[in-house]
Structure 1
């Protein structure tokens, strides 16, 4: 299992939230270079598996980011498992519960 936070983000919530739930995203090679077609246009790939929202509400998250008056409007992170980890749904829920307890300490969950 890997838990990682990325640098602070700027701007509207449509960018980060849209990326997280998008079925198609820009295609990159193993060096993280954008792949372009013969005309120089960026290529896209369909995610496999497709994203699935397990907790939270993307529209609400986007609205919260948009409501921020700060220069840095959001902080993104990821909880990921290797295919060999094969956590059960109960184990995944336990990890998400612990993460939310730590990341949102002192905040009302509603």
Structure 2
């Protein structure tokens, strides 16, 4: 679990660096791209099919209260936060070592 945390943190830093380099290279102010923008860049058709599928087969409230805010948040911050959560879980679940006297 610790390695997953490290991988997510490194991926979050890489995404942040790519976003900042792209925005500054285009002459814009520094900004981080959202999860929805990354998803649309990777596969726009699946993103457009995901919303009606969730609303029709699961719940419209799930889309508006959970998924849509996640899609509008910066991907780099989401990855860093998820990495921090896994790091804290790995730390909490790690067996405690006894001190020798």
Q: Give TM-score, length-normalised by structure 2.
A: 0.24
The higher-RCO structure (CA 8 Å, 6+ apart) is 2
Q: Could you say which structure has the higher strand fraction?
A: 1
Point out the structure with the larger helix share: 2
